[in-house]
């Protein structure tokens, strides 16, 4: 497989406006799901597009319900900046329905209020094959390289929230 798709160039495509969620449980661990359609193992936090007229918080709750079967979470904090990442050249024209160069994301930290049994990744349009709670320090090792810089910024911004709560 070619590592470069000459038909598509980054500068010719826009960024997709999206939201990302660092979902923390009561122990301060972070939710990650293993992507279904990946050829290499890829784990990520929930994320998805922001629909017209939606706020990032509304999009975050909708994405949680669509991806993990529940919206039982409380808003904690928003990253102060929009963070962007570019797709690698071989995914241009393939990933994100082929319409975007990458994503421009507003990241939110949220606290999961339910029980693990409330989480169901086998939704109507599943994105994750499996899921787990993970220590925040372990995130960078599991994330695909092209998202790692974004994840490091999110970890830095929300690290103080990743501890047990009463």
Q: Which fold has domain 10-159?
A: Nucleoside Triphosphate Pyrophosphohydrolase (3.90.79)
Chunked mean pLDDT (size 10), the chain, 166 residues: 52 88 98 81 91 97 97 97 90 77 95 98 93 96 91 97 90
For the whole model, what pTM was predicted?
A: 0.90
pLDDT at 4: 47
pLDDT at 7: 61
Cα 29 to chain centroid distance, Å, stands at 15
pLDDT at 135: 97
pLDDT at 2: 41
Query: Per-domain residue ranges for the chain?
Result: 10-159
pLDDT at 59: 98
């Amino acid at each position: 497989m070619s590592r470069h798709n000459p038909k598509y160039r980054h500068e010719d495509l826009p960024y997709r406006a999206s939201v990302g969620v660092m979902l923390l449980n009561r122990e301060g661990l972070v939710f990650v799901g293993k992507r279904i359609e990946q050829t290499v193992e890829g784990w990520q936090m929930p994320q998805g597009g922001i629909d017209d007229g939606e706020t990032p918080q509304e999009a975050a709750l909708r994405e949680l319900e669509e991806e993990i079967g529940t919206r039982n979470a409380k808003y904690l904090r928003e990253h102060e900046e929009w963070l962007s990442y570019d797709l690698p050249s071989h995914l241009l024209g393939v990933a994100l329905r082929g319409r975007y160069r990458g994503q421009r994301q507003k990241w939110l930290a949220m606290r999961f209020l339910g029980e693990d049994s409330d989480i169901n990744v086998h939704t109507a349009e599943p994105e994750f094959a499996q899921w787990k709670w993970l220590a925040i320090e372990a995130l960078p090792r599991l994330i695909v390289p092209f998202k790692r810089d974004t994840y490091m910024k999110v970890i830095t911004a929300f690290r103080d929230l990743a501890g047990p709560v009463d």
